């Protein structure tokens, strides 16, 4: 895209891109010449921003990367003759996201020929070997990027508040890091300590200090990063999910203000295109695939070549074309790495390919140094994390959008312990599957795996609501999951429950999706009072439980969900959870694997 696009376009996104004097000053502050002052200011907070990379301006008339004539090629770029002859440059971007502190090789779910298949994937030691192998194929012109949600989601992460994960990521050698929505789980102060301990550059243009202290109103992280690599100048702008305070316990993000990308993205695109003369601009986002496709349709993102997305753990194998740019997402749990190769010759993008690659321990031997680092990280917690609390005879998995065996097990335990009318659980995505050994027919559930299922050990809380409140809440949750505007969908899936059955239609209008609800096999009575139990969310009003508002008789029950699960397994292990039709849709199977339908995308 020519760098003068924004001056001549006239689109609404570009018109909102006017750059104030303060913004120009921020640009200068972030530039190579004034970086020292920016670091000095941040040092008052005890932080190291890790801003690196050359900002040498080398303007070129690069062809638009999203040229439809440039087909995606799975073949290696090394076969390109111009690259072999040294007449062209290949740039490689390696992208991970949503690793969720899964340290070891684990079971992973695939859908092949309509059947569920489980394979061993991931692990930090495997991932390091694979990244090094791919990076070494184009060593001087490769960037390794992580899209967030790394130091939350496993036992070691929870027990160390993310601190133990940082040396592992640094050992891999990431170049650019984005905070994800779960990076706030240990609070703002710990998020900053963990994020700024990363050696890689941090970027995020929509997280602001929201305190009475001096930094109030300032960005927590630099909004963008510019890298001169292989004769090409690349710009990266970062965005976390602006819905983070609503999706999670509000207390986690206390002291942080989130804004939507459309408020400032056009401005930063203009800075990178006009002032920095970037040849290519990428958005590094952690907003969920549906929201990212919605963002790709907004005029504010004109000038962006790709949205490198994250959050919903989707496996995008062919980039999804929005109105103005393309969107990718690289799966989760360290099971996949997205590789983008770009060939540039005489100032034009000649060829580009994108592949989603399995982190396969059968192809990549575990790195011994990383194995030692992982064991060192686990050592203080190893005895407790390895403790077996139960067994399962059926796979525990959470990939289905509407109902999952894993959450049926969790809500079974809540119902057994407290005996309410209804047991609820959030529509979580994290946690890789746990598959029984074919020889024994069972798999051991450890404390470590419990932390992967429920990475926050919240207290159980009880309340009462009317049938009408229950129905209205269900409509609201279905809107969060299936809003017709993809940009309005939350990153999570349909809430889980025990004690009631729900049938709905995804494609119905807002507020009219629920067809019927039954509680204890009886039709919902809108006037009747029902009791329910769910987890407490720190920072919510006392009368709000699991996003159900105006609850009567709210009461904390004195038991955390982890203790409830352990107690349940002592009585019921081995368990055999499966899909039961607790929640069904008239226009989708109970094995639905993505929120994003109608865009030619398939999860597999």
Q: What is the CATH number of the domain that holds 546?
A: 3.90.780.10
Give phi and psi for 15, each to the nearest 5.
-65, -30
Here the CATH number for the domain that contains residue 87 is: 3.60.21.10
Same domain, 333 and 405: no
The reply to whether 592 falls in a domain is: no
Whether 256 and 159 share a structural domain: yes
Angle value at C-alpha 261, between 238 and 344, nearest 5 degrees:
50
Residue 498 and residue 574 in one domain = yes
d(CA 331, CA 95): 10
CA-CA-CA-CA dihedral for 366, 428, 380, 336, to nearest 10: 10
Q: Using CA atoms, how far apart are residues 252 and 454, in angstroms rounded to an integer?
A: 16
262 & 333 share domain:
yes
**Among 336, 368, 400, which residue terminates a domain?**
368
Q: Does residue 373 lie within any of the structural domains?
A: no
541-552: pLDDT as tens digits: 999 998 899 999
Q: What confidence score (pLDDT) does residue 21 get? A: 53
Does residue 149 lie within any of the structural domains?
A: yes
Strand bridging mode 583-585 / 500-504? parallel
Give me 412's structure tokens: 């079974």
Give me the chain's average pLDDT, please: 87
Task: Please check whether residue 378 lies inside any domain of the structure.
Answer: no
Percent of the chain scored above 90 by pLDDT? 75
Q: How confident is the model at residue 491 (pLDDT cuts 50, 70, 90)?
A: low
261 with 406, same domain: the answer is no
Strands 106-112 and 320-321 come out as: unpaired
- pLDDT, position 85: 59
The span from the first CA to the last CA of the chain, in angstroms, equals: 33
Counting DSSP H helices and E strands in the chain, the numbers are 18, 27
Residue 232, classed as helix, strand or coil, is strand
Q: Is residue 59 pLDDT above 60, yes or no?
A: no
Q: Does the pLDDT of residue 46 top 70, yes or no?
A: no
Domain count, the chain: 2
Residues 358 and 439 in one domain: no
**Predicted confidence (pLDDT) per residue in 230-265, tens digit:** 888 999 999 999 999 988 889 999 999 999 999 999
- Are both 477 and 346 inside the same structural domain? no
Residues 276 and 408 in one domain: no
Contact call for residues 339 and 92 (beta carbons, < 8 A): yes
587, burial (CB in 10 Å: exposed 0-12, middle 13-18, buried 19+): exposed
The answer to whether 419 and 533 are in contact (CB under 8 A) is no
Beta-bridged to residue 117, according to DSSP, are 110
Question: For residue range 361-374, what is the model confidence (pLDDT) as tens digits?
Answer: 999 999 999 999 99
| Mean pLDDT in residue range 502-520 | 97
Q: What is the pLDDT of residue 14?
A: 41
Mean pLDDT of 111-131: 96
In a domain, 602, yes or no: no
Residue-range definition of the domain harbouring residue 492? 386-585
Q: Where are the beta strands (DSSP E) in 247-402?
A: 256-258, 280-286, 306-308, 320-321, 326-328, 336-345, 348-358, 388-392
C-alpha span between 528 and 222 (Å, rounded) = 52
User: Phi/psi of residue 299, each to 5°?
Assistant: -65, -20
């Amino acid at each position: 895209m020519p760098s003068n696009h924004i001056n001549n376009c006239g689109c609404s996104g570009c018109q909102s891109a006017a750059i104030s004097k303060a913004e120009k000053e921020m640009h200068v502050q972030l530039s190579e010449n004034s970086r020292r002052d920016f670091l000095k200011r941040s040092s008052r907070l005890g932080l190291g921003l890790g801003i690196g990379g050359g900002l040498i301006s080398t303007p070129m008339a690069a062809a638009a990367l999203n040229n439809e004539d440039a087909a995606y090629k799975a073949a290696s770029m090394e076969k390109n003759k111009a690259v072999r002859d040294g007449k062209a440059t290949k740039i490689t971007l390696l992208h991970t996201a949503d690793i969720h502190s899964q340290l070891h090789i684990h079971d992973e779910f695939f859908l092949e020929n309509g059947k569920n298949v489980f394979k061993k994937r991931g692990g930090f030691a495997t991932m390091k070997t694979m990244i090094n192998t791919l990076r070494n194929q184009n060593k001087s012109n490769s960037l390794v990027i992580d899209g967030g949600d790394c130091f939350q989601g496993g036992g070691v992460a929870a027990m160390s508040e993310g601190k133990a994960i940082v040396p592992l990521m640094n050992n891999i050698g990431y170049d650019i890091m984005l905070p994800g929505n779960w990076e706030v789980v240990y609070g703002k102060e710990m998020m900053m300590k963990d994020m700024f301990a990363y050696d890689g550059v941090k970027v995020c243009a929509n997280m602001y200090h929201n305190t009475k202290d001096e930094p109030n109103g300032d960005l927590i992280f630099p909004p963008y990063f510019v890298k001169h690599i292989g004769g090409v100048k690349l710009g990266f702008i970062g965005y976390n999910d602006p819905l983070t305070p609503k999706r999670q316990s509000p207390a986690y993000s206390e002291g942080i203000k989130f804004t939507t990308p459309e408020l400032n993205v056009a401005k930063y695109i203009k800075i990178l295109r006009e002032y920095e003369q970037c040849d290519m601009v990428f958005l590094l986002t952690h907003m969920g695939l549906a929201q990212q496709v919605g963002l790709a349709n907004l005029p504010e993102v004109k000038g962006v070549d790709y949205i490198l997305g994250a959050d919903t753990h989707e496996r995008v194998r062919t980039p999804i074309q929005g109105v103005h740019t393309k969107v990718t997402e690289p799966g989760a749990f360290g099971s996949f790495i997205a590789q983008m190769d770009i060939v540039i010759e005489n100032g034009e993008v000649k060829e580009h390919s994108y592949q989603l690659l399995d982190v396969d321990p059968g192809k990549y031997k575990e790195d011994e140094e990383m194995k030692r680092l992982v064991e060192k990280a686990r050592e203080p917690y190893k005895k407790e994390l390895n403790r077996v609390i139960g067994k399962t005879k059926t796979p525990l998995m959470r990939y289905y959008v509407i109902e999952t065996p894993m959450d049926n097990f969790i809500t079974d335990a809540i119902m057994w312990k407290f005996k309410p009318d209804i047991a609820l659980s959030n529509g979580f995505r994290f946690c890789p599957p746990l598959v029984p050994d074919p020889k024994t027919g069972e798999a051991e559930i450890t404390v470590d795996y419990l932390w992967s299922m429920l990475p926050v050990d919240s207290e159980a809380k009880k309340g009462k609501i009317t049938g009408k409140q229950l129905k209205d809440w269900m409509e609201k949750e279905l809107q969060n999951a299936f809003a017709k505007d993809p940009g309005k969908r939350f990153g999570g899936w349909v809430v889980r429950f025990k004690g009631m059955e729900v049938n709905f239609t995804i494609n119905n209008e807002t507020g009219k999706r629920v067809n019927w609800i039954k509680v204890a096999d009886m039709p919902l009575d809108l006037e009747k009072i029902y009791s329910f139990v769910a987890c407490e969310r720190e920072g919510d009003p006392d009368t709000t439980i699991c996003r159900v508002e105006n609850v009567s008789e709210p009461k904390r029950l004195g038991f955390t969900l982890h203790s409830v699960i352990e107690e349940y397994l002592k009585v019921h292990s081995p368990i055999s959870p499966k899909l039961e039709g607790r929640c069904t849709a008239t226009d989708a199977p109970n094995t639905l694997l993505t929120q994003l339908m109608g865009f030619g995308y398939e999860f597999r």
